[in-house]
Amino acid sequence: ALQAVIRRIDVLHGLVQQYPNIINYYPDPDIALIASDICFQQGVASTVLFNDAERAASESAYLFRLRTERVDYVRRLCDGRALQILPDRKMRNSLIHIDEHLAKALQKPNTGWFIDTAIGWRDQLVAERPGTEIAFCRTYISSEDSILHLGNQISLAKLRDESAFVLAAVFGQAVS
């Protein structure tokens, strides 16, 4: 999943660079798919490597012990480096349980949504109706090199850096 995150970020940057004169919107349909996959892969990596949640009712004591040992092992190998994105539980839950979180968010009144898209900057469009909020789900903002997702901001530079660091620290895989 970490390798996929890095590859998808690199591909996304390449696709966005193909449209240097477009400011407001990126028309390549693969951009939305790649941003969505970055979120999915980030959620998977975060769950596997950093999920330190309490034992779930459906989780056996043995599997819980294995999971907590794995998380402790990863943290030891990361040697106290201040990782901000991959271990973020709130972000992980919004990515992994997107169906539940998005269904709830879509019920918020007076809200317009950008979902699975890429735009130049977050405030480039203003709602026609006063009092309408603009919200984002898996939306790539090129001016910030970030994905906005249900109240979370994912810096792709930081996510790529953290993914490369964890790959090197835990799996011995150097990434350029």
8-22 pLDDT, tens digit each: 999 999 988 887 766
pLDDT band for position 142 (cuts 50, 70, 90): confident
pLDDT at 128: 83
Average pLDDT, the chain: 91
With a cut of 70, say whether residue 139 has pLDDT above it. yes
pLDDT band for position 144 (cuts 50, 70, 90): very high
Residue 25 DSSP label: B
pLDDT at 121: 85
Q: 117-136 burial string, b = 16+ CB within 10 Å, else e?
A: bbbbebeeeeeeeeeeebbb
Question: Crossing angle of helices 89-96/98-105, nearest 10°?
Answer: 90
With a cut of 70, say whether residue 90 has pLDDT above it. yes
155 forms beta bridges with: 146
Beta strand ranges found along the chain (DSSP E): 111-119, 133-141, 146-149, 152-155
d(CA 4, CA 37): 9
149 forms beta bridges with: 152
Give the rounded percent of residues in the chain with a pLDDT score beyond 70. Answer: 97
Over residues 37-83, the pLDDT tens digits come to 999 999 999 999 999 999 999 999 999 999 999 999 999 999 878 89
CB 172 within 8 A of CB 98: no
pLDDT at 122: 84
pLDDT at 17: 84
